[in-house]
Structure 1
């Protein structure tokens, strides 16, 4: 039997992809910044926040999404997420409609695209970021209580960012296709902005994090050529205008589109996405013969990516954990697994529609094998893994409960009315061993290491922090898998309540505010010749399993009569997380955070780090 014209494949192992899809969309509601809607906000423990974003710069930047467990609005991963959500709606429209999720899906896209429209007030201006990662990570507070910097950063002709502008153009072009059947006027607005942003990205070239240096520590860009090809490919799909197709063909070699063979698809590296998208355009058979040869070269690279995932690439295969999860790198590895799974689901449909096979160095593969790989990644996420845990929060009976997420880990403003201060959040809520008071349904955490190991610890941000970019591909992936393997579910497929209210507020545990002299060490280096005093205190301790962790506070005080600038500290034996300093390009060397330019006589600042075992060694290297 077939459903929606899509052939059913072998029986599912029992995972409810429809329920997983429903939850994955809720995550985006938990990440909303700005004025929340009164009727279409199902996550009830969140409230309005960031209502003054952009005000200091005279621009309305209210809205958009917080990136992860923090409150910075980073443009590059947000735009990539919007592109992936839109691609899911475009290619799996029938599946999403049959699951009655089109409304929520379009809402998820529009919350980003409305923000991008605001952020693009002029043809050659794009506001790229709101908030500062350094100051934001120094605090642990709810979005509704934010006291951190909300400085906005823009790209323009003198401060280019072809990668970010190109990705935003791709997002808006893809969204214009997604919205066209439902709101043609809004679709036209999106397309107009997409065209302008692509022209801006192409004409004024440069890396966005060269123009916005404080983004380097968080979302460093490896290049912009892939984003330019990506944007042009999406604009061609949205418009059928030949100049965009000509762009990806003429620049195929120069920009690496037919040169790069990759095993990663992510917010930073779009080559595999470009290659599969252009292969889809090629196989649809609507392009002229002048472009066919180059598009076939793109297809060869698309095949390389797919064959590497299937372990049929002549030894040049993607790395899988012993449990079968795609593994690319340590921090938030799940984002690479979901993106690759989505791409193979798309490519499977593309090949199946043409009754074609994938030819690999180690043999041919049927389209179904690509979809089975996508399913294997989804199943791993939902519980078919050595830990037997769902890495999608709220799905199943066993999932992470100490998610590295500020809003989830602190009681809702509706239950706990007192403001939670910047550092107070660390003392009262971050260090708690209890589960987060608010379940952040649909958050996909960073996931296990290369050996399938996982520690559900709030301080283990590499593994327990969710991100937008990991969640974006899930819309298309879960909708495809549900219809292909399970069919249309009954109306009772959801196993969570229809609204997601805050849980009763646990009382914060008291933490010490004064410390004995034995807990504090003072350092005035170089026999009092240095005009800087370091005071090192242990301000809290707690146990996780059999290991004791310490919260260290280091006060830096100017005891001279002159201003101090350009301070550099060397920190050795640091094994945990640190807040309040900026990591320099030199190993173990730290600078003042972005918001501190000078330390006046008598002034002091602080930084905090958390680790088990002995304290780190802090040494003053230089200053002016």
Structure 2
């Protein structure tokens, strides 16, 4: 949620973020508002963003029941749709795809909030004369995977996603070429080391998953050797290198009983390469293993290694499930491995990330008692726009980044469900009663709180208006909220429909930095 660009919804779970980049693409005659920022910066790189949506969709497809049990499915669907809506916008013609907004060089020179961006928002596209098969095929994969996710929830939207996925894949395959040759602005930041053949196989595999159309499986089988799918034995799965993912997806077809006929030999080769990856991860590959740290963490690359850990764990887990469903085992050079043993290794990696490591430190921000509090993220390291409304300039944010205490909470407020606690009609006008409970978990007094209220069509009573549109203060009699204290207020809205409301920001008395309070909505 912290990475979303554009007009943010009122029910967002990261309350310290505001609307941003509301004119992306306009100067070039296209609407590119929305989508996701890349990392701690504000460039929208289409290649890694599409991979993220593909993986999130795959996760929903494999673990939908678990997400329902964890009350996380709707948020996952919203996150996927936020990405796919943007990809649909970016696909303005059958053979045109806008794949980047923003300039990495100038963006990285500044440290400012997304709401204050002052750097160029130039948009870049690929087309028939400037091909980019990697990013096009990955976008097709994302849309196809998402189409399969939404098939049971919104069939018309799934059809729309598939239409774009098919067109974009045809574009990627017909006009072949490396995207980082066409776009020098992307080459410095996300160069394509593995080429585009893995993405073409990946895109076709996902279109087969989403449609069951044998033409896409035939495409993968015909090109398996020439594109490296059955030749590359890899120990990495990432935004750049999709071979392991393709090999696992095609192994699924074989293990599910689809290995008869013309595709049998090719699918078996895919499985052999998938098992090389699995055996290398679990350290049973005859010496050709993925490196590990002294504490036992998979160590694929020096830069941002956790991305490789998480992607490897995902493939290990889904492959173990495929084996279990087929009653089979993983056949490694060092041993024959049962699915439960693969899952146990995957769990050890997750446990390491969450704190079971030599430092007893969680590497997931906000999880556990000890975790990073100074993250390389512009929005999270500068006081929120709701706490400090003045513009933070290009260079001014570096001071906040270097501050001794984090500016925005490393563990943002949990989501809450908006509920109208009562409603009635008086003199032909609808009225609504709301109750908000805010709890100060900062460890020091909070002296200023704000509510974000969207969709008001009439007056509201019980809160104080501010100069900022849609922002309201708590009642004037509330001067502070001490550490651990709860505050409950009731306010009345006149005129419908019921407004969308969130506790947006709280500022502490000690350093006046942005501190968000834990919030919850309760029925009165």
TM-score (structure 2 length as normaliser): 0.79
Q: Distance in 2 between matches of 1:164 and 1:420?
A: 33
TM-superposed deviation, 1:502: 3.8
TM-superposed deviation, 1:437: 2.6
Q: 1:134 aligns with which of 97, 100, 105?
A: 105
**Which residue does the alignment assign to 2:507?**
504
Q: Residue by residue, what CA displacement relative to the aligned partner does 1:154-180 show, whole Å, maximum 9, x if unpaired? A: 000001000000000000000000111
**Which residue does the alignment assign to 2:20?**
49
**Which residue does the alignment assign to 2:229?**
257
Question: Is 1:325 paired with 2:297?
Answer: yes
Question: Is 1:371 paired with 2:374?
Answer: no
Q: Is the 8 A contact 1:437 1:504 kept in 2?
A: no
TM-superposed deviation, 1:431: 2.1
**Which residue does the alignment assign to 1:439?**
410
**Which residue does the alignment assign to 2:455?**
none
Q: Distance in 2 between matches of 1:430 and 1:102?
A: 34
Q: 1:308 aligns with which of 280, 301, 312?
A: 280
**Which residue does the alignment assign to 2:78?**
107
The 3-state SS of whatever aligns with 2:246 is helix
Question: Is 1:338 paired with 2:310?
Answer: yes
Q: How do 1:407-422 and structure 2 match up within 5 A?
A: 407-422=379-394
Point out where structure 2 has 5 or more consecutive residues left out of the alignment: 414-500, 514-524
TM-superposed deviation, 1:100: 1.8
Q: How do 1:129-528 and structure 2 match up within 5 A?
A: 129-222=100-193, 223-286=195-258, 288-426=260-398, 428-439=399-410, 501-504=504-507, 506=511
TM-superposed deviation, 1:301: 0.1
What is the total number of aligned residue pairs between the two structures? 423
Q: How do 1:538-549 and structure 2 match up within 5 A?
A: none
User: For the aligned residues, what is the CA RMSD?
Assistant: 1.5
Q: Is the 8 A contact 2:15 2:412 kept in 1?
A: no
TM-superposed deviation, 1:433: 2.2
Q: Residue by residue, what CA displacement relative to the aligned partner does 1:197-256 show, whole Å, maximum 9, x if unpaired? A: 110000001111111102111111110000000000000011111110001100011000
Q: Is the 8 A contact 1:30 1:440 kept in 2?
A: no
Q: Is the 8 A contact 1:307 1:317 kept in 2?
A: yes
The 3-state SS of whatever aligns with 2:258 is coil
Q: Is the 8 A contact 1:410 1:425 kept in 2?
A: yes
Q: Residue by residue, what CA displacement relative to the aligned partner does 1:372-393 show, whole Å, maximum 9, x if unpaired? A: 1211111111001111111111
Q: Residue by residue, what CA displacement relative to the aligned partner does 1:510-537 show, whole Å, maximum 9, x if unpaired? A: xxxxxxxxxxxxxxxxxxxxxxxxxxxx
Q: Is the 8 A contact 2:259 2:267 kept in 1?
A: no
Structure 2 CA distance for partners of 1:499 and 1:289, relative to 1, 3 Å: farther
Q: Which has the higher contact order (CA 8 A, sep 6+)?
A: 1
Q: Is the 8 A contact 1:169 1:195 kept in 2?
A: yes
Q: Is the 8 A contact 1:42 1:500 kept in 2?
A: no
Structure 2 CA distance for partners of 1:440 and 1:406, relative to 1, 3 Å: farther
**Which residue does the alignment assign to 1:36?**
8
* TM superposition outliers: structure 1 runs of 4+ over 4 Å: 498-501
Point out where structure 1 has 5 or more consecutive residues left out of the alignment: 1-28, 443-497, 509-624
Q: Distance in 1 between matches of 2:382 and 2:345?
A: 37
**Which residue does the alignment assign to 2:456?**
none
Q: Distance in 1 between matches of 2:277 and 2:506?
A: 44
The 3-state SS of whatever aligns with 1:103 is helix
Q: Is the 8 A contact 1:170 1:234 kept in 2?
A: yes
Structure 2 CA distance for partners of 1:253 and 1:500, relative to 1, 3 Å: farther
The 3-state SS of whatever aligns with 1:129 is strand
TM-superposed deviation, 1:282: 1.2
